[in-house]
Structure formats: C-alpha cells, structure tokens
Amino acid sequence: RGMVDYFHLAWSKHNFRVLFDLDVTDIRRAIRRYRRDTGNELSLTAYLISVYSHLVGEQPAMQAYRKGIRKLIVYKDVDVNTLVERKVEGEMHATTYILRRANTKSFDEIQSELTAAKSATSQSAFAGDTVKNKGSSYAKLPRFVRRLLLRYSRWNPHFRRRIFGTVGFSAVSMYARQTGYPVVITPHTLGIVLGGIGRKPAVVGDEIKPREMLSVAVSFDHDVLDGAPATRFLSTFTRRCLRCHGLEAYAPKTDSQV
C-alpha cells in the first residue's frame, strides 16, 4: 500500500529521464583495494551514494521543492531515500531507509549506517522505523486518509522531507545479473536508479577495451529543474566517478574512460 501511494504521488510530477552507461571498472578495482588495505567494508552502492549526496549538497537546487505556486524551498542537508534488503516477517524484502544528512558523512559512515539498517528489527517496510512500527500503522489507514496525507505533502515540502527524504537513490543492481535500464518513477526532484553491470567495449585513451559498465537511470522534475543544470550535474557526477573521487589513493594507474 505504501508503494502504491508512493507511485501515486510520483505520477503527479512532470519528470524527464536520462539513461546512460557509467564505467565502474576503476571504481570497483579501487573498492577492492580499499577493502584489502584497510580491512573496512565498502559497497559500490555506499560509495556512489557518497559521491551523489556530496554533489547534491554542493548544488542544492537539485533538491528544491515547490511550496504552492510561486515559492521554492531549497534544503541544505541531503536526505537520501534508498533501499536496503532485510528480513521482514521471515522473508527478505527491499525496504525503505532514509540516510539523513548524507552529504555530511564519509562513505565509511554511510556504509556503516546501511549495514546497521539491514539488521533493523522493525517488521514494517521502513527500515528506519522504531519498534512501534509506524510504517505498518500508516499502511492500515483507509486509502482516502493516506491520499489526503500525500496531497498535504505536495503542498508542504517539510512534511514530504520527513517521510520521503529530499532525493532518491535505488540500486536494482544488487539483484540484477545483467545490464538493463530501469525507468525511474519517483516523487523526488532528483532520483537515480542503478541497473545491472555488464562488460561492454569502450574507448579508453586511443584504444577500445572491455569495461564494466553500470546501467544508470536518472529522473529530474521539470517543474523545478531545467535541462542545462541537470546535464551539468550529471556531467560532474560522471566525471567524479570516473576519477574514483575520494578513493584516488586506491585507484589503478590507468587512463579512465573519457
């Protein structure tokens, strides 16, 4: 029920979407070397959330929201709505978790928080729930009451931030075993979904080599963002990933894809 309501809110937006391949060959090598040298756990998802949230923090217009017709609310802190797989009522499910102030945290801190969320004991669809399971209480409300709350969230960005965060980031790649571009449906101004990873030919320097390419889908709310700033945001995000931003000391000494 919560997911149906989530999509009901998302379809009210005028989103435009971008699909592209991200070369993660060097990133994955750097992560493996980082794990080996430091003994710390680090997933590709946690690393990309770190790069993503810090960049949004530098360009806060990416998480602006309309308040009424004439006003925009722009947040300083980046609250990332993401998914963690954990056991709920005896079965494994992808459940919602909101990384609060992710732009102020290192990728190690983000990894630790995601790991802790996976072991959360809440039996609702929200890994960040307390033992009172507020998410389950919401799902039991009549549909017209839930839709009234969602309508209220459209006009009150602060309420929306509390229940949905400020940006979206999902990793379907943790289930996928091949490439493919998911179509993003999100109520956020900015949302990213990672697809699968596959080997594809790419230009590296002056040569064509097989590289590990991650399928990425991005959604922007065109009621808030224009194409030019959105494109600049994606260009910077891609460039930082190719340069293994934050993991330069562990990156392989090779030319990255241009």
pLDDT tens, N- to C-terminus, the chain (258 residues): 656 665 656 666 778 889 999 999 999 999 999 999 999 999 999 999 999 999 999 999 999 998 877 889 999 999 999 988 877 777 777 788 899 999 999 999 999 999 988 887 665 555 555 444 555 566 677 776 776 776 666 777 888 888 889 999 998 765 656 678 888 778 889 999 998 898 999 988 889 999 999 999 999 998 888 889 999 999 999 999 999 999 999 998 765 444
Distance CA 235, CA 44 (A): 19
Contact by Cβ (8 Å): 187, 10: yes
DSSP 21-83: EEE-HHHHHHHHHHHHHH-----HHHHHHHHHHHHHHHSGGGGEEEETTTEEEE-SS--EEEE
Please tell me the predicted confidence (pLDDT) of residue 103: 96
How many residues make up the chain in this entry? 258
Q: Over the Cα atoms of the chain, what is R_g?
A: 19
Count CB atoms within 10 A of the CB of residue 215.
23
Please tell me the predicted confidence (pLDDT) of residue 194: 92
Contact by Cβ (8 Å): 195, 45: no
Please tell me the predicted confidence (pLDDT) of residue 59: 95
pTM for this predicted structure: 0.83
DSSP 78-137: --EEEEEEEEETTEEEEEEEEETTGGGS-HHHHHHHHHHHHT----SSBTT--TT-HHHH
The contacts of residue 52 (CB under 8 Å, 6+ apart) are 80, 167, 169, 192, 237
Q: How far is CA 76 from CA 54, 82, 166, in A?
A: 11, 19, 10
